[in-house]
Amino acid sequence: QLDEKEAAMRKLHNDVVDLRGQIRVAVRVRPMLKTEEEVSSASIIEYPSTNAISFNQGAKPSGTFTFEKVFTPVFSQQSVFANIEDFILSALHGYNVGLIAFGQTGSGKTHTMRGGEAEDEGIIPRTASYLFNESKKLEATGWKFEFSLSFMEIYNNEAFDLLNNHSIVKLRLINHTVSLDGLTEHPLTKQSDMAGLLNVADRNRKTAATKCNEYSSRSHAIYMWKIKAQQRSTGISTSSVLKLVDLAGSERAKESGVVGQQFKEMTNINQSLSVLQKCINMQKAKSTHVPYRDTKLTQVLMDCLGRGNSKTMVVVNINPCNEQAVESKRSIEFAAKMRETHIGSAVQQRDL
């Protein structure tokens, strides 16, 4: 009895999520920082209506862009999470789910995904408590869940284990799946284990100095969950993955004035981000030759980029300062392109 009811609820939940599409795009504009206000930087972002943004640059206003969700600077970490938790829940229901933070260095990607302590916690630590709570509810209906975590980073198109001394991870493509040789898996049996794992990963993340920000992340960090669900009575089991991604900064190399090793980093970053965008757009257009293989980033994300039983959300992060207008517009353009191919969406695109 309960099983039928629960199955119906799951189906309803997933139908609703499906209606909103397999690939969705949200935008988060961070508040201006104190230091930015001191140098009298002005915000160029305006919010003409719910889930819409436009640029205000004096005499020349831009068009309005609408998205699945626009998180204005007043959104707290908690309210951002409250808006996406439904999407994350799909992972417990057997979907492969990818949530990807995009944006230039300093736009708030790490704040959104990792965040700080207590009420400042971002999506990654909040996901741990949320999934434990939700799995407890489902356990009452006869399901049993097992979680295991792997954190990795892709730097210069090489993959490293963030939970095992930054050791190299080898990617092997077998048919249409990628195997990650050498990546350690860490069972998560209680929510409180998450903090320790995140601390290890934080220490292992590479940073490099650029002109944009004193220390900025030049790598893509991927926080992966493997979720096994089993129904006690029937033994039926499902497995799914949840990948939470803090991408490297999307700024253009020439605007950062970097050379040598850092230029190589930039080139790799730009290539992986443009292939990622291509994959998302081609997947949306239901193309049969999506170039997942072209970069390590897209190989790792392949199973949750809108194929088959998967769902993707891209959160495009925006720095609101006038000085960053060029990069902010590029980010919105990136976001709008993904929205454009969305069935049923009404995107106005002008003047960008």
Burial class (CB in 10 A: 0-12, 13-18, 19+), 345: middle
Q: What's the CA dihedral at 237, 238, 241, 242 to 10 degrees?
A: -100
66 binds, among Mg ion, ligand ADP, none (CB under 5 to 8 A by kind): none
Which of positions 286-345 make contact with ligand ADP (CB under 6 A)? 317
Q: Are 178 and 190 in contact (CB under 8 A)?
A: no
Which of positions 18-37 make contact with ligand ADP (CB under 6 A)? 30-31, 33
> Which residue among 103, 125, 306, 320 contacts ligand ADP (CB under 6 A)?
103
| Smallest separation, CB 91 to Mg ion (Å) | 23
Q: What's the CA dihedral at 6, 7, 11, 14 to 10 degrees?
A: 70
Residue 316: name the closest of 297, 304, 333 by CA.
333
Specify the residue, 96 or 127, whose C-beta has the smaller distance to ligand ADP.
127
**142 part of the interface to ligand ADP, by CB under 6 A:** no
| Smallest separation, CB 256 to ligand ADP (Å) | 13
- Mask 221-260, x = binds ligand ADP (CB under 6 A)? ----------------------------x-----------
Long-range Cβ pairs for the range 14-17 (8 Å, 24+): 14/90, 14/93, 14/95, 17/86, 17/87, 17/90, 17/311
105 is in an annotated binding site: yes
- Mask 170-209, x = binds Mg ion (CB under 5 A)? ----------------------------------------
| Smallest separation, CB 71 to ligand ADP (Å) | 8
103 is in an annotated binding site: yes
The residue number with the shortest CB distance to Mg ion is: 110
Q: How far apart are CA 81 and CA 63, in angstroms?
A: 28
Count of residues in contact with ligand ADP, rule CB under 6 A: 14
Residue 208: name the closest of 220, 219, 200 by CA.
219
CB contact set of 233 (below 8 Å; sequence gap of 6+): 3, 142
Q: Are 319 and 328 in contact (CB under 8 A)?
A: yes
104 is in an annotated binding site: yes
79 is in an annotated binding site: no
Which residues belong to the annotated binding site for ATP? 103-110
Question: Which residues make up the interface to Mg ion (CB under 5 A)?
Answer: 109-110, 217
Question: Which residues make up the interface to ligand ADP (CB under 6 A)?
Answer: 30-31, 33, 103, 105-111, 216, 249, 317
